[in-house]
């Protein structure tokens, strides 16, 4: 397992990568996944495209993109390659559930609308221009950036603690 200093270095590098990905994309799900993909060498290129409609599950206020993107990264790290691999399916559940539990404990919910309500005082329909502008004006972008950063850090912690390949610093510090 990596030392505390190495983990802190990784998290700091991950924060910087995430900031860059968020500036580039403005997309919680893709930015969080892309940052983890880059630092953990998950080879998830096609997944990035598939995550395009995922923020709040198509901007409907459902599952937060800061949960979905990192959960996809965890799936790549722990998931099965063959549909019939029942043991692979079962083995992927503990780290995924651990991440979801940590996220919900830290953020208070896994649902986008509920997170916005608790942090900004109301939910927003981000598919509507007027709501999107109101979201921006009341600090929504900054609030969501903090949630995304938390999600990425929690996922990285799960990967560092539970993914066997995470013990090789060459795998982790690829950025």
Give the CA radius of gyration of the chain: 16
Note the pLDDT of residue 1: 47
Q: Say which residues have a Cβ less than 8 Å from residue 86's Cβ, sequence separation at least 6.
A: none
Note the pLDDT of residue 74: 97
Q: pTM of the prediction?
A: 0.89
**C-alpha to C-alpha distances, 9 to 16, 31, 67, 137, nearest whole angstrom:** 11, 19, 23, 33
Say if residues 130 and 45 touch (Cβ distance below 8 Å): no
Note the pLDDT of residue 165: 64
Cα distance between residue 139 and residue 156, in whole Å: 26
Cα distance between residue 93 and residue 84, in whole Å: 16
Question: Which segments in the chain show pLDDT lower than 70?
Answer: 1-3, 165-175
């Amino acid at each position: 397992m990596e030392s505390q200093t190495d983990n802190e270095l990784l998290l700091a590098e991950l924060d910087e990568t995430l900031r860059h990905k968020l500036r580039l994309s403005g997309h919680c799900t893709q930015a969080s996944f892309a940052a983890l993909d880059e630092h953990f060498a998950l080879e998830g290129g096609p997944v990035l495209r598939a995550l395009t409609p995922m923020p709040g599950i198509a901007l409907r206020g459902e599952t937060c993109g800061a949960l979905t993107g990192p959960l996809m990264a965890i799936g790549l790290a722990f998931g099965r390659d063959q549909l019939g691999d029942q043991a692979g399916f079962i083995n992927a559940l503990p780290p995924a559930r651990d991440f979801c539990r940590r996220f919900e404990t830290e953020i208070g919910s896994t649902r986008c609308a509920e997170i916005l309500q608790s942090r900004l005082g109301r939910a927003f329909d981000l598919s509507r221009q007027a709501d999107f502008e109101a979201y921006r004006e009341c600090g929504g972008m900054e609030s969501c950036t903090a949630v995304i950063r938390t999600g990425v850090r929690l996922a990285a912690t799960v990967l560092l603690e539970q993914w066997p390949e995470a013990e090789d610093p060459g795998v982790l510090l690829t950025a």
